[in-house]
Chains A and B, each alone.
Chain A
Amino acid sequence: IQMTQSPSSLSASVGDRVTITCRASQNIGNYLNWYQQIPGKAPKPLIYAASSLQSGVPSRFRGGGSGTDFTLTISSLQPEDFTTYYCQQSYRTLLWTFGQGTKVEIK
């Protein structure tokens, strides 16, 4: 299963609302997770099962979608949100794939 994120990068300002899209090459139901990675650090889970917020993650992060098309929306960008985000499918038999990543940069 191939995962394609768009855009690969985006520029935004503090307080902006941004949406990242992830498309699967086949129907994966809602077996879709989102991670945030700060450079030089391990990834951090944000959203699992397409729309469930991981414990401790701020409510400005929201996941949506099902089937082949998914979104990660950050409602009001904070300074610490300018980093890279990955989607990951967890459909069926634990053969997983990540999207290529989306870098959110300061405008």
Chain B
Amino acid sequence: EVQLVESGGGLVQPGGSLRLSCAVSGFTLSSYWMSWVRQAPGKGLEWVVNINQDGSEKYYVDSVKGRFTISRDNAQNSLYLQMNSLRVEDTAVYFCARVEKTTKYGAYGDYYDYYFMDVWGKGTTVTVSS
């Protein structure tokens, strides 16, 4: 069974740090892009960051650039999110998600890659408060 399990959330003071982990099972982590998505209490979903299969490409939402760092250890089947300089507005449930890629072919030999998040963990709660 494909499974993602987040951990590491908790209560932290503004300016503090936390490291989230996402343990994966049931698939080969090294074959997939991975994402972190967060959801503030009572609010919508916010994409946070993507990382490619070997960790050489990372894309962050502007609000966390320079403060959050995504990493992965494919041998340990784990994804991480190091969160520094935390702010009250970082309070949220943080989900890790697997990114599925689908390729569609056009009529002239062209092709297009589509990405979506097909498997999600249940989330871990981060609360930033004094």
Contact = CB atoms under 8 A, between A and B. Distances in A.
B114 A90 contact: yes
Interface string A70-107: 00000000000000001010100111111111000000
Q: How large is the interface on B (under 10, 10 to 19, 20 to 34, 35 or more residues)?
A: 20 to 34
Q: Is the interface of B mostly helix, strand, loop or mixed?
A: strand
Interface residues of A, number: 27
Contacts, number: 64
Contacts of A44: 120
B80 interface: no
B116 to A, nearest CB: 4
Given A42-B120, A42-B122, A45-B118, A86 B33 contact: no
Interface of B: 33, 35, 37, 44-47, 50, 57, 59, 61, 95, 100, 102, 104, 112, 114-118, 120-123
